[in-house]
Structure 1
């Protein structure tokens, strides 16, 4: 009987109290957006991930919250589309490869260009320094400085170091995102 009660309770939660939130994941090519999304949605990390062409979407279920995550391509030709997919979302996740120091200035410029768009005013921003498992990476404090995150205003901004491969700090990412589920 307890199993039946749990099934009914879970169904009631999903039906009447479930919350769906939209999250857009952006960042330069090869930052690890698709790998992160695959791991968050319960899949395995794959070393040979193919670059995202355009976008893809996955749902990540956590309790009564469903994160509908949009993963946008990071190649230069897709960056003009980022703003359109970030409008009206609950949170924007900007992923940076913290082991590829040569791309950090480009990441900073693209991030600030995007955050200056009036249509995105007030949308919370989570910056993730991915590939923390690699040598020659920068720290979270260095990433905050290099990306000038303190200059981004009119929204909540947080920054975490993660490793999609090692699944480091991913629960903290989900908890941060779920704070904005009712927004």
Structure 2
């Protein structure tokens, strides 16, 4: 392999981003992934993810691999298996179901604790507050503030919070931008 081929491969690799999409079951992970895909690649029916699904798409000028991992209790012990070479962790929270916030915070904390034991690797964390279309305008800020306060100690100072709706598309441009920004 010549030097030019190596340089070309490295340039392509530099443009690749691997996003791990995690969160509790029914938090809207697959709907968000579906919305991030080009219209001609979107599915008309979203079903719960059993195991995982991988989609590769172009966002901005990057090649983005979206690893959508099921959030059922039985699958959570396997989340670590998908960690290697991950650049961005997108953690989805269903903002319309406050009774599951504590469970979500606990699972994120557990995952991030295991991340600390991995030498030389640090994930960019994007916390997606999904399903904002399902709550009234007056409740949105209260719930967003509550979740951000609960997660501030867990997620760390570098975490980015994005409000969105995978169904309506609201906030998806901001999510795309955050996934691809350094």
Same fold (TM over 0.5): yes
1:149 to 149, 152, 168: 152
Offset at 1:145?
1.5
CA distance in 2, matches of 1:64, 1:171: 14
In the TM superposition, what whole-angstrom CA distance separates every residue of 1:4-41 from its partner, at most 9, and x where no partner exists?
xxxxxxxxxx9885411110000000111001101100
**1:138, CA displacement in angstroms?**
4.5
The two structures, once aligned, show a CA RMSD in angstroms of 2.3
Q: Report whether the alignment pairs 1:173 with 2:170.
A: no
Secondary structure of 2:118 counterpart:
helix
The one-character-per-residue Cα deviations of 1:79-100 (angstroms, maximum 9, x if unpaired) are 1111221233111000010001
Larger RCO: 1 or 2 (CA < 8 Å, sep 6+): 2
Kept in 2, the 8 Å contact 1:35–1:45? The answer is no
State the distance in 2 between where 1:63 and 1:135 align.
30
Name the residue aligned to 1:62: 59
5+ residue gaps, structure 2, are 1-7
Residue 42 of structure 1: how far off its partner (Å): 2.0
- Distance (whole Å) between structure 2 residues aligned to residue 138 and residue 110 of structure 1: 23
2:165 to 156, 163, 166: 163
Q: Give the TM-score normalised by structure 1.
A: 0.80
| 8 A contact 2:60–2:180 mirrored in 1 | no
1:20 corresponding residue in structure 2:
16
SS class of match (1:116): helix
Q: Any stretches of 5+ residues in structure 1 without a counterpart?
A: 1-13
Assess, with a 3 A threshold, how the Cα gap between structure 1 residues 45 and 167 changes in structure 2: closer, same or farther: farther
Kindly indicate whether residue 28 of structure 2 is the aligned counterpart of residue 32 of structure 1.
yes
TM-score (norm 2): 0.81
Contact 1:94-1:126 at 8 Å conserved across structures: yes
1:17/1:33 Cα in 2 relative to 1: closer, same or farther (>3 Å)? same
Secondary structure of 1:122's aligned partner: coil
From the two aligned structures, give the one with the greater helix fraction: 2
Q: How far off is 1:76 after superposition?
A: 0.3
Contact 2:24–2:71 (Cα < 8 Å) also in 1:
yes
